[in-house]
Every structure is written in C-alpha cells, then in structure tokens.
Amino acid sequence: VKKGYNAAKRGLLIWKGDKNNICCGYFTNDDQLISLNAKNGKPIKTFGNNGIIKIGSSSTTPTIVDDQLIVATFRPSIESYNIESGELHWKFYLREIDKEVFREKDFRGGNPWGGISSDKKNGIVFLSTGNPRPVFVGSTRPGKNLYANSVIAFDARKKKKLWHFQEICHDIWNFDIPSPPILTTINIDRKRIDVVVSVTKLGNTIILDRYSGEPIFDYEMKRAPVSKIPGEKTCEYQPSLKLPEPFARNEFKLEDVTNLSESGREYIMSAVNNSNFGFFATHEPGKDTIQYGNSGGAQWTGASVDPYKNILFVTSNNIPFRIRVGSFNNKSRFQFLGKKEEPLRDLDDFPGAKPPWGTLTSINLNSGKIVWQVPLGYYKSLKSKGIITGTENFGGATATTGGLVFVAGTLDKLIRAFDSESGKELWSHELPYIGSAPPTLYAINGEQYIVIPASGGITLKMYYNDLVEQGDAIVAFKLKD
C-alpha cells in the first residue's frame, strides 16, 4: 500500500472465487486497485502486477457485475476490470458537453467520490457524482455541467449509460451528492417499484425509478436568483422538494437565527443583515453568502434502509456557513482570487442557527413523509442546562431487522441505539474517540456483534479542534438477546 494515501477510504469488497476457492479482498488506494487474499493478507499475484493495477485516483469501494470488477475514478470515469486477472474491459468518461444549448466548456470535478452500487441481476451500476470545479465561482465553466451533482445508471453488460438525473444545475454552492445510491423496492398505489435512492447535502431524498431514472414523486423546480458575478450564468431553476420531505434545512432564513442568548442573536443578526441568503442565494464579491449544506444535510456516510418496512434512516447536519469569493480585476471580468468558507458561529462558538444542529431522521419511502426526527448528540455545557441541541456529525446510521438503529459520529463521542419505530434512545456508550463511519453488524456462531471504527474524524477535527481528539480505535460490542 502506498504511504500517504487513503487505503480503503470507503471500505473494501470481499469476493469468493468460484474456480480456486480463494476469498479476495478488493480496495482502492488513490490510483491503485488492489487485490489481497482475504485469509492471509497477501497479494493475489495473478491480479494485475502482483496484486495491483493502476487506475485513475479513486476513493470508492469497487462493485461486481458478472466477472467484472467495476470502480469509479476521479478522471472522472467508470472502469471495468476482469475480477481475476485485472485486465481492462472498458472505460466510460463521466462528462458530457452540451455545446448546442449552452456553448458549454469542459470543467473539472464532478467526481464520483461518494460511492457506487450495483443491480447484479440486471447488470446495472449506479453512482453519484460531486460538484464541478472551481467551487463557488463557475464563470469559467458555463452550462449545466452535465453529469456533475448527478445520479447515473450504467449498463455494465452493454457498456452504455442508461440515464442520469442531475439534482443541481451549474452548482456554485458545493452541493455534491456525497453518498452511494441505495437500491430497494417500495410500494406506491399497491404496486412494487424498484428504485434507487440518494440522500443529498441539500437534505433531499431523491427516489428514482431504477430503470428509467424518472422521479417517483413530483420533482418541483423553483426559479432561482441570477448571479451577481460578471460572466457567471446560473441556471434559471433549482429543486424545491415537498416530497419526500427534506430531512435538513436547505435554505437559510431570518427565523433560523440562533435564540440561545440575546447577545448571540444580535451578533449573528449583524452578520446576516450584511450577507446574501435564501433560496440558492448567489455569491457577490466583497459580501458574504450564508448557506446550509457545506457539511450536509447528508454526508458520505449516507443512509440505511429497512427494505421490509420501506423506512429510511439518515443522519444529517444543520450548520450554516458563510462564503465569500474573490474580487474584480476590471469592470467586465471576474478574477477568482480565493474564497472564505467557514461556519457561522455565535459569541460562544456555537452554530449561528437555532438547534437542532444534528439529527437522526426516519422517512417512509412509500409516502415520502418523515416518521420522526430527533436531535443527535449534545454539548456538555448546554446539556447541563437541559438543552439538547444535536451536534454536527459524520458517523452514519445502521438499521437492524430487530427494530434498532445504531449511530455514532457526534461530538460527545457516544454510540447510540434508537428504537426504529419511535426514535427513542435506548442505549449509549462512550467511545474512546468519535465514531468515524456507520456501525457494522455481523454474526459468528449464532452470536450478534456490532463494530465501529473510532478515529475522531478529519472534518470534525478541522472545525472543532478543541473538542476532537484523534485516534485509531476499533470497538466491538456483543448484542444480548
């Protein structure tokens, strides 16, 4: 494994071969796709060059269709390799230039860093993509920036794209779709419909027909503001969903300003009154834009679905950020000279919006309605006053058939179990460091266990340095009957 890179950043894939009865582990390590013997950790020498093939930089976990090992890369592309030999089958590049309508130029970004999934029966691979770059200013990348901020379906057998669905057009807000698509089946008007589900940083739950890409619920579009930056042409309409009900705030409003203290409220109001905010507020040189979504809504940890009851469980954040972009260098052209991107916080260093700042939400996928939502996590100083606010979190939820939802990732370092029907907290345990991934459940000899990595997390350390200690623990629990 190359030093200095993130091996198996989104996890690894285990596959048992039919021919030689070898159990293989596959994972990415920046620009390497690696195959190891899962029993002894040694490279599979017949795979690529002594267990390694060179690919475009990637952070996603591969998936399997037939004899194809499929991985998404930052080229950006989706690539297929023979699962045993590592021989390249094909590559498909994830950009499309709509020159006729938008006179669109090429752009950077739109990377499928959130993850991929596959319908093995039908040979379809699904992936979500990130935002285009440069971030916040898109004057050098006019047009829709197609395939960025999208859910894409690809037929791995016929080697062709089936459909794509773009949530945000010409993204200048950093609203990428950050997590792997989820495949499940829901009930609508007494019909069973195979769907793909993606949770987003805007707090949307996108539910699409798995084979056509059409939204299951009416997908509402609302006229959006015009850019204030010379040369920037934003899209005329952006999404405003009613169903499924958003699980996080996606538009900063005056009524969101914190009410924890009068001095804190006045401090935040002074910042808000001198800033742009609201529905897809555009950026303006020399003036802040206040928005949600930089840390989610949802994040890379995604959501967990109970496929028997068609209930989705998702962790999310309501953290306002203040954004400021470059400056003019003449009257007709904008030069991107940098950006400021930081959380909006009050005088006590708490988020500048009303709680909850972090939540766990249960959504009925059949109806699109929220079943329950609870604050997730607490600050000790506020809890002592009886105030439970939730905290920013990057842990993710895992639901069980036994009616429990396990979740960690909060600033208080707790792993928790909730009743899946009511949202009531049933159990908690303090980890040595903040949980940094969704819990994993497994069984050995009839006994059930739950295991979670606890590292403190990079993002939380960056924004809450005094509250976050980093480490490298893996903690396991045995579930009692």
**Is pLDDT at 473 greater than 70 in this prediction?**
yes
**Is pLDDT at 476 greater than 90 in this prediction?**
yes
For the ranges 160-169, 183-192, 211-220, 326-335, the lowest mean pLDDT is seen at 326-335
Beta carbons within 10 angstroms of residue 381's beta carbon:
10
For the ranges 6-10, 97-101, 135-139, the lowest mean pLDDT is seen at 97-101
**Is pLDDT at 110 greater than 80 in this prediction?**
yes
With beta carbons less than 8 A apart as the criterion, state whether 295 and 271 touch.
Answer: no
User: At residue 308, what are phi and psi to the nearest 5 degrees?
Assistant: -85, -35
Residue 105: the pLDDT is: 57
Q: Rounded distance, CA 34 to CA 12, Å?
A: 10
Q: Rounded distance, CA 229 to CA 358, Å?
A: 33
Question: With bands split at pLDDT 50, 70 and 90, how would you rate the model's confidence at 102?
Answer: very low
Residue 26: the pLDDT is: 86
**pLDDT tens readout for residues 341-384:** 899 999 999 999 999 999 999 999 999 999 999 999 999 999 99
Question: With bands split at pLDDT 50, 70 and 90, how would you rate the model's confidence at 101?
Answer: very low
Beta carbons within 10 angstroms of residue 376's beta carbon:
31
**Is pLDDT at 336 greater than 80 in this prediction?**
no
Q: What is the mean pLDDT of the chain?
A: 90
**pLDDT tens readout for residues 251-265:** 999 999 999 999 999
**Is pLDDT at 98 greater than 60 in this prediction?**
no
Q: For tokens 């999404």, what's the residue?
A: 239
Beta-strand relationship, 275-276 and 288-291: parallel
For residues 140-156, average pLDDT: 91
**Structure-token pair, residue 114:** 């959130």
Q: DSSP string of 317-350? A: E---EEEEEEEESSSS-EEEEEEEEEE-B-TTSS
Residue 382: the pLDDT is: 95
Nearest Cα to Cα of residue 75 among 63, 62, 91: 91
Question: With bands split at pLDDT 50, 70 and 90, how would you rate the model's confidence at 5?
Answer: low
DSSP tag of 356 = P
User: Own/partner pairs for 400-407, CB < 8 Å, 24+ apart?
Assistant: 400/441, 401/306, 401/308, 405/304, 405/313, 405/360, 405/362, 406/439, 406/441, 406/450, 406/452, 407/315, 407/360, 407/376, 407/438, 407/439
Taking CA 332 as the corner, what is the angle to CA 328 and CA 335, rounded to the nearest 5 degrees?
A: 35
Residue 140: the pLDDT is: 82
For the ranges 2-6, 174-178, 421-425, the lowest mean pLDDT is seen at 2-6
For residues 178-185, average pLDDT: 94
Beta-strand relationship, 321-328 and 288-291: antiparallel
